[in-house]
């Protein structure tokens, strides 16, 4: 059946089944059935065949109409049910005056309309026929002319108003052509609307051809348009014919576009329904054929179940097309075919992935902060970043929001992985973790193509399937330990995964369709950044987690490590209790690390020994104080006196270094022997560190007199510089000041000051350049009991930004601009009487200890120590 036939049939049904007017006590309704008869009456009236119209009085009874607009010349049936409206019609007809005024209501919900509730422009109508029934009055009226309501004279028992007839404005001769063009356009559009609208009978198409007057035709077309009453009222209030026709043409154009779009959509739906019915019929036939072949219904039920899973998975259009194609292929394939298992596995994966399943995020910022603080002590930077992200999510509820891709960089044991779990728990997300350590196959990320036996999707897609949601927190652990070989570079494959501009269309080799990863919150961890590919590092937001201070370790032990180990060893807090001194003794004497893993192991050792004591019959609680720690763990492995002992003789200086597992202290030793022009370097030093030693020696030779060294020392002596722990590779320029100080101390015979360490790069001209890792180095110095630290002047800002004030308060920091500042502040004075004095006669100024309220001026002498 064609589309036009469908519309005509619908119109015929609409015409033959037109409902009767329904009575409503407080409503005036218009019944617009029998359009063919009405059209004939209209034509007769226009041609002068109808009854004559009496003159319109100045005062008329006013009948409000609900959701209805009457136009001049329009013949329309009206059902009147409201009591005051019935009385209005009765008195008007009984008085011999069949003309009344009608006007549309502004708000159809008003029960008892007054003068302010109706439009000021209405129509005077003449009552042609009237019949009473049990539910009110039914009558047929015909519009006479437009009127303007000038004043409402009465409101009870019904409205009565003074009106003024609005005469039509004559058409100017110069507008005649334009009026004719508008009339033809309205006629053409109206015929198209009648053809497309199922509610308008085809007889109305003759309305525009039977009426010659453009003003009358405009009013009649406007009256029969299926638009809201407000739009019709707008046409009624246009007195100028050209403006009225233009406004009507605009409304008709919009309505025609709506009808054409609706017809197109209906055609598409009908076509889809036809295709669905055809597929169903063919599928039923296929089931019957399979049954005849003896394949049974079990396989058919299995495939139907797969089809239902695919339909319920919410796949995107391209993925759905690929899944249905593979499922159709599977349906035609024999279960014994070699490719049957591969195709079945692929369809199972497509149906199992969370294409449209998301979990709501917890956007209660104080609650999230409370959870993060309860799980981890410190780590403020990463906590603040998560809270900032959730704050943005809370206020940006619409549109796409780019997920942050965080990279937590820090030494082992600082809580990077456990922090990811804590973030997922606080945000209400599912947690997925994969370890990238040692991964060297690109297929681990992108998956294998289905042509390979045993092919599977990559770890990213597998993780999302395990999470059963498309917005989990996905942790990529140890991203700095990814390797590459002949099987590909996993780091390059991760570029697409960790790029917000690309991961919306991530394409796994196994699925071979796009999967949107933009809703996944990726968190990566690393111990160092140097081994991460630069392009990959650029895609991540780096958050550095430095080592813990002694105070933080004590607090972490009390809050987390001790309760955890006590519980794991079957004890209670009443049976095993740690004192403050006991915890500090473990931290200071048995661990010297950036993280807390070794600290947890020592706590576990204490708990094991306490458990054994209870197992052997002990009944009294165990109080772990300093003495008990030494009893259980033995003598302390680290002591502060080590630095004083090793640096008490000239030529030994304590340096600060950065390692992937945090900061550390090293001792650089210089020795002198008979010979000439010789420099020996040991300790498995790298090229940069060897060059720093050469630079240090050259500077001392060039400034021997100023340093109190004999100028000819190099002619008669060989020098040997050694960095202990020779099994550990060492490199970098930051030991320059340390080597220079060691050589100067050796040759001048001036020992280094006690509890002092330094770091900084030295140039040949004696400048001290800034170095990295200041926070890690300062924390290492603090752990080792260092009280004075010499830093490059240009690292002052790093110290102030990265080291909290409470950690600086019991340490002295000296900022050096050149080597002479380092020598003057690091080496003990030549005169023994000056040792321990606050006055250094060589450089002529006192060492100051400044308070927080009065920090030193930036213009002060560079080697003035800073004590925060």
Question: Residues 601, 660: one domain?
Answer: no
pLDDT of residue 208: 77
Q: Are residues 17 and 161 in the same domain?
A: yes
In whole angstroms, how far apart are CA 332 and each of 311, 452, 846?
Answer: 20, 22, 94
DSSP line for 564-607:
HHHHHTT--TTTEEE-HHHHHHHHHHH---SSSHHHHHHHHHHH
Distance CA(401)–CA(398), nearest Å, equals: 8
In tens, the pLDDT along 424-441 reads 888 888 999 999 888 888
Instruction: List the Cα angle 379/780/383 in 5-degree steps.
Output: 5
The active-site residue, picked from 160, 238, 626, 777, is: 777
Please check the confidence at residue 99 and state whether its pLDDT lies above 80.
yes
pLDDT band with cut points at 50, 70 and 90 for residue 297: low
Is 437 within the bounds of a domain?
Answer: yes
| Domain match, 344 and 373 both | no
pLDDT, tens digit, 9 for 90 and up, residues 448-507: 888 888 888 989 999 999 999 988 999 999 998 888 777 778 888 888 888 888 888 898
Q: What is the pLDDT of residue 303?
A: 77
Verify that 759 and 816 share a domain, yes or no. Answer: yes
Q: Does the active-site annotation cover 465?
A: no
Domain end, chosen from 633, 657, 688, is at 633
Distance of alpha carbon 345 from the chain centroid: 33
Instruction: Select from 343, 341, 342, 304 the least CA-distant residue to 325.
Output: 343
- Report the C-alpha gap between 487 and 507 in whole angstroms: 19
Contact (CB, 8 A) for 669 and 738: no
Which residues contact residue 444 at a Cβ distance below 8 angstroms, ignoring those fewer than 6 apart? 458, 459, 490
8 Å CB contact between 771 and 746: no
In this structure, how many other beta carbons lie within 10 angstroms of the beta carbon of residue 642? 14
How far is the C-alpha of 613 from the C-alpha of 634, rounded, in Å? 17
3-class DSSP assignment, residue 619: coil
For residue 349, which phi and psi values (nearest 5 degrees)? -65, -45
Here the CATH number for the domain that contains residue 63 is 2.30.130.40
Backbone region of residue 287 per phi and psi (left: phi > 0; alpha: psi in -120 to 50; beta: other values): alpha
Strand duo 845-846 + 865-866: pairing: unpaired
For residue 833, what is the DSSP state?
Answer: G
On whether residue 799 sits in a domain, the answer given is yes
Q: What is 113-160 written as a DSSP string? A: --GGGB-SEEEEEEEEEEEEETTEEEEEEEEEEEEEEEEEEE-SSSEE
Contacts of 289 (CB under 8 A, 6+ apart): none
**Which of 96 and 61 is assigned the larger pLDDT?**
61
Q: Which residues are annotated as a binding site for ATP?
A: 410-417
Q: In the prediction, which pLDDT does 789 show?
A: 93
Q: Would you list which residues are annotated within the binding site?
A: 410-417
Are 702 and 752 in a shared domain? yes
Instruction: Report the chain's C-alpha Rg in angstroms.
Output: 46
Q: Give the pLDDT of residue 640.
A: 56
CB 73 within 8 A of CB 143: yes
User: Which CATH number goes with the domain that contains 432?
Assistant: 3.40.50.300
- Phi and psi of 311, rounded to 5°? -65, -35
Q: How confident is the model at residue 767 (pLDDT cuts 50, 70, 90)?
A: very high
For 566, the token pair is 């006590």
Q: Estimate the crossing angle of helix 340-352 against helix 298-312, to 10 degrees.
A: 40
Share the mean pLDDT of the chain. 80
Residue 242 lies in a domain: yes
Task: Using the 3D structure, point to which of 609, 633, 657 is the last residue of a domain.
Answer: 633
Tens-digit pLDDT profile for residues 195-208: 888 778 878 877 77
Q: Which of 114, 24, 111, 29 is nearest to 67 (CA)?
A: 29
- pLDDT, average across residues 299-303: 71
| Averaged pLDDT for residues 522-546 | 87
Does a structural domain hold residue 281? no
Q: Do 135 and 46 lie in a common domain?
A: yes
User: How confident is the model at residue 499, as a pLDDT?
Assistant: 86
**Confidence label for 769 from pLDDT (cuts 50, 70 and 90):** very high
Q: How far is CA 509 from CA 470, 499, 514, in A?
A: 19, 18, 10
Q: Are residues 675 and 801 both part of a single domain? A: yes
Q: What is the pTM of this model?
A: 0.55
CATH number for the domain spanning 717: value is 3.30.230.10
Task: Average the pLDDT over 537-560 and give the result.
Answer: 84
Task: Supply the CATH number for residue 568's domain.
Answer: 1.10.8.60
Model confidence at 740, in pLDDT bands (50, 70, 90)?
A: very high
| Residue 599 domain-assigned (yes or no) | yes
CB burial of residue 400 (10 Å; 0-12, 13-18, 19+): exposed
Q: Write 223-229 long-range contacts (CB < 8 A, 24+).
A: 223/69, 223/70, 223/71, 223/74, 223/76, 224/32, 224/35, 224/200, 225/193, 225/251, 225/252, 225/255, 226/193, 226/197, 226/199, 226/200, 226/255, 227/251, 227/255, 229/67, 229/68, 229/69, 229/104, 229/108
Q: Is the pLDDT of residue 118 over 80?
A: yes
Pairing outcome for strands 406-409 and 541-544: parallel
Q: How confident is the model at residue 695 (pLDDT cuts 50, 70, 90)?
A: very high
Q: Are residues 177 and 305 in the same domain?
A: no
Q: Which residues contact 854 (CB under 8 A, 6 or more apart)?
A: none
Report how many domains make up the chain.
Answer: 6
648: in domain? yes
Q: Is the pLDDT of residue 737 over 90?
A: yes
Eight-state DSSP code of residue 273? H
Going by C-alpha positions, the residue among 189, 330, 170, 160 that lies closest to residue 254 is 189
pLDDT exceeding 70 applies to what percent of the chain? 86
Quickly state the pLDDT bin for 776 (edges 50, 70, 90).
Answer: confident
777 is catalytic: yes
What is the pLDDT at residue 450? 85
Average pLDDT of the residues in 720-733? 84
Are 525 and 606 found together in one domain? no
Q: Residue 859 pLDDT > 50, yes or no?
A: no
Cα gap 866→868, rounded to integer Å:
6
* Tens-digit pLDDT profile for residues 610-636: 999 999 988 898 999 988 898 888 888
Single out the residue in 165, 191, 222 at which a domain terminates.
165
284 in any annotated domain:
no
Mean pLDDT of 712-729: 84
More confident residue, 273 or 139: 139
The pLDDT of residue 333 is above 60: yes
**Do 683 and 576 reside in the same domain of the chain?**
no
Residue 722 burial class via C-beta count within 10 angstroms: exposed 0-12, middle 13-18, buried 19 and up: middle
Please check whether residues 574 and 655 belong to one and the same domain: no
CB-CB contact of 741 with 767 (8 Å): no
Residue 298 pLDDT class (50, 70, 90 cuts): low
Give the Å distances, CA to CA, from 821 to 697, 700, 737, 817: 17, 14, 10, 7
The answer, yes or no, to whether residue 842 has pLDDT greater than 80, is no
Contact (Cβ atoms closer than 8 angstroms) between residue 11 and residue 200:
yes
Half-sphere exposure of 863 (CA within 13 A, CB side): 19
- Residue 827 lies inside a defined structural domain of this protein: yes
The active-site residue out of 734, 741, 745, 748 is: 734
Overall average pLDDT of the 139-160 stretch: 87
CA-closest candidate to residue 73, choices 104, 36, 106, 47: 47
Each residue's pLDDT tens digit, 372-392? 888 888 778 888 888 888 888
Query: Shortest CA distance to 548 belongs to which of 499, 472, 599?
Result: 599
Is the predicted pLDDT of residue 416 greater than 80, yes or no? yes
* Cβ neighbourhood burial of 338 (10 Å; 0-12, 13-18, 19+): exposed
Tokens describing residue 316 = 């995107």
| 656-670 pLDDT per residue, tens | 988 766 778 888 999
The band of 169, judged by pLDDT with boundaries at 50, 70 and 90, is: confident
Query: Domain containing 588: what range?
Result: 550-633
The confidence score (pLDDT) of residue 54 equals 66
- Across 88-97, 219-228, 695-704, least confident range: 88-97
Q: Decide: 149 and 118 in contact? Cβ < 8 Å.
A: yes
Q: What are the counts of helices (DSSP H) followed by strands (DSSP E) for the chain?
A: 31, 28
Would you call 687 exposed, middle or buried from its count of C-beta atoms within 10 A (0-12, 13-18, 19+)? exposed
Q: How many CB atoms lie within 10 A of CB 747?
A: 23
User: Within this chain, do residues 624 and 713 fall inside the same structural domain, yes or no?
Assistant: no
Distance in angstroms (rounded) separating the CA atoms of residues 5 and 11 = 10
Neighbours of 859 (CB within 10 A): 6
SS3 per-residue string spanning 204-256: HHHHHHHCCCHHHHHHHHHHHCCCCHHHHHHHHCCCCHHHHHHHHHHHHHHHH
Give the C-alpha separation, 623 to 580, whole Å.
11
Give the end-to-end CA distance of the chain in Å, rounded to a whole number: 91
- CA nearest to 436, candidates 515, 533, 548, 546: 533
Report the range of poorest mean pLDDT among 67-81, 98-112, 508-522, 838-852.
838-852
């Amino acid at each position: 059946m064609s589309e036009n036939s469908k519309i005509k049939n619908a119109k015929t049904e609409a015409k033959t089944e037109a409902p009767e007017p329904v009575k409503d006590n407080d409503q005036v309704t218009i019944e617009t059935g029998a359009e063919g008869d009405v059209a004939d009456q209209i034509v007769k009236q226009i041609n002068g065949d109808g009854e004559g119209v009496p003159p319109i009085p100045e005062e008329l009874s006013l009948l409000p109409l609900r959701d209805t607009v009457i136009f001049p010349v329009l013949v329309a049936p009206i059902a009147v049910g409201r009591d005051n409206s019935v009385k209005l019609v009765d008195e008007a007809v009984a008085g011999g005056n069949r003309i009344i005024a009608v006007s549309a209501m502004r708000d159809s919900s008003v029960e008892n309309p007054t003068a302010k509730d109706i439009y000021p422009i209405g129509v005077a109508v003449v009552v042609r026929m009237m019949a009473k029934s049990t539910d009110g009055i039914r009558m047929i009226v015909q519009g006479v002319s437009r009127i303007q309501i000038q004043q409402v004279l009465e409101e009870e028992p019904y409205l009565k108003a003074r009106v003024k007839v609005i005469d039509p404005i004559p058409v100017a001769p110069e507008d005649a052509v334009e009026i004719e063009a508008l009339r033809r356009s309205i006629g053409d559009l109206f015929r198209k609307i009648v053809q497309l609208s199922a509610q308008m009978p085809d007889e109305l198409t003759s309305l525009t051809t039977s009426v010659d007057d453009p003003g009358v035709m405009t009013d009649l077309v406007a009256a029969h348009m299926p638009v809201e009453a407000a739009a019709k009222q707008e046409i009624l209030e246009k007195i100028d014919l050209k403006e009225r026709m233009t406004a009507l043409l605009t409304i008709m154009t919009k309505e025609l576009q709506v009808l054409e779009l609706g017809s197109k959509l209906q055609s598409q739906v009908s076509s889809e329904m036809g295709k669905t019915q055809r597929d169903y019929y063919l599928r039923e036939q296929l089931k019957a054929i399979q049954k005849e072949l003896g394949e049974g219904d079990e396989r058919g039920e299995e495939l139907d179940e797969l089809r239902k899973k695919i339909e319920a998975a919410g796949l995107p259009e391209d993925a759905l097309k690929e899944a249905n194609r593979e499922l159709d292929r599977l349906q035609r394939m024999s279960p014994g075919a070699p490719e049957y298992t591969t195709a079945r596995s692929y369809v199972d994966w497509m149906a199992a992935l969370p294409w449209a399943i998301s979990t709501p995020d917890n956007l209660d910022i104080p609650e999230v902060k409370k959870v993060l603080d309860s799980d981890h002590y410190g780590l403020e930077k990463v906590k603040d970043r998560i809270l900032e992200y959730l704050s943005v999510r809370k206020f940006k509820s619409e549109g796409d929001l780019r997920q942050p891709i965080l990279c937590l960089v820090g030494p082992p044991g600082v809580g990077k992985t456990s922090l990811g779990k804590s973030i997922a728990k606080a945000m209400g997300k599912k947690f997925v973790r994969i370890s990238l350590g040692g991964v060297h196959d690109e297929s681990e990320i992108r998956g294998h193509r289905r042509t390979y036996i045993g092919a599977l999707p990559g770890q990213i897609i597998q993780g999302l399937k395990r999470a059963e949601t498309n917005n989990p927190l996905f942790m990529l652990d140890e991203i700095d330990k990814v390797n590459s070989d002949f099987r590909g570079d996993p780091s390059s494959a991760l570029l697409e995964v960790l790029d917000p501009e690309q991961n919306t269309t991530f394409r796994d080799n196994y699925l071979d369709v796009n999967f949107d990863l933009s809703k996944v919150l990726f968190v990566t961890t690393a111990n160092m950044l140097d081994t991460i590919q630069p392009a990959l590092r650029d895609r991540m937001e780096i958050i550095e987690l430095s080592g813990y201070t002694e105070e933080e370790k004590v607090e972490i032990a009390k809050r987390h490590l001790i309760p955890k180990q006590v519980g794991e060893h079957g004890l209670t807090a009443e049976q095993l209790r740690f004192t403050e001194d006991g915890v500090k003794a473990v931290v200071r004497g048995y661990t010297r690390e950036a993280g807390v893993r070794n600290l947890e192991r020592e706590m576990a050792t204490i708990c094991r020994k306490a458990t054994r004591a209870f197992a052997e019959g002990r009944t009294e609680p165990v109080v772990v104080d300093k003495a008990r720690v030494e009893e259980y763990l033995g003598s302390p492995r680290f002591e502060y006196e080590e630095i004083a002992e090793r640096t008490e003789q000239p030529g030994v200086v304590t340096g600060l270094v950065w390692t992937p597992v945090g900061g550390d202290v090293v001792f650089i030793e210089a020795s002198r022997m008979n010979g000439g022009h010789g420099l020996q370097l040991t300790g498995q030093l790298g090229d940069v560190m060897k060059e720093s030693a050469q630079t240090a020696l050259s500077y001392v030779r060039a400034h021997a007199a100023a340093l109190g060294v004999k100028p000819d020392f190099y002619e008669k002596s060989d020098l040997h510089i050694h960095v202990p722990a020779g099994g550990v590779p060492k490199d970098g320029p930051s030991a320059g000041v340390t080597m220079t100080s060691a050589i100067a101390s050796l040759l001048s015979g001036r020992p280094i000051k006690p509890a002092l360490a330094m770091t900084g790069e030295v140039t040949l001209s004696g400048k001290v350049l800034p170095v990295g890792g200041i926070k890690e180095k300062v924390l290492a110095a603090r752990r080792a009991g260092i009280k004075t630290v010499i830093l490059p002047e240009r690292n002052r800002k790093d110290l102030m930004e990265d080291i909290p004030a409470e950690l600086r308060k019991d340490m002295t920091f000296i900022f050096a601009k050149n080597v002479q500042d380092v020598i003057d502040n690091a080496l003990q004075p030549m005169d023994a009487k000056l040792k321990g004095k606050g006055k250094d006669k060589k450089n002529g100024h006192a060492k100051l200890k400044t308070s927080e309220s009065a920090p030193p001026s930036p213009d002060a002498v560079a080697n003035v120590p800073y004590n925060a």
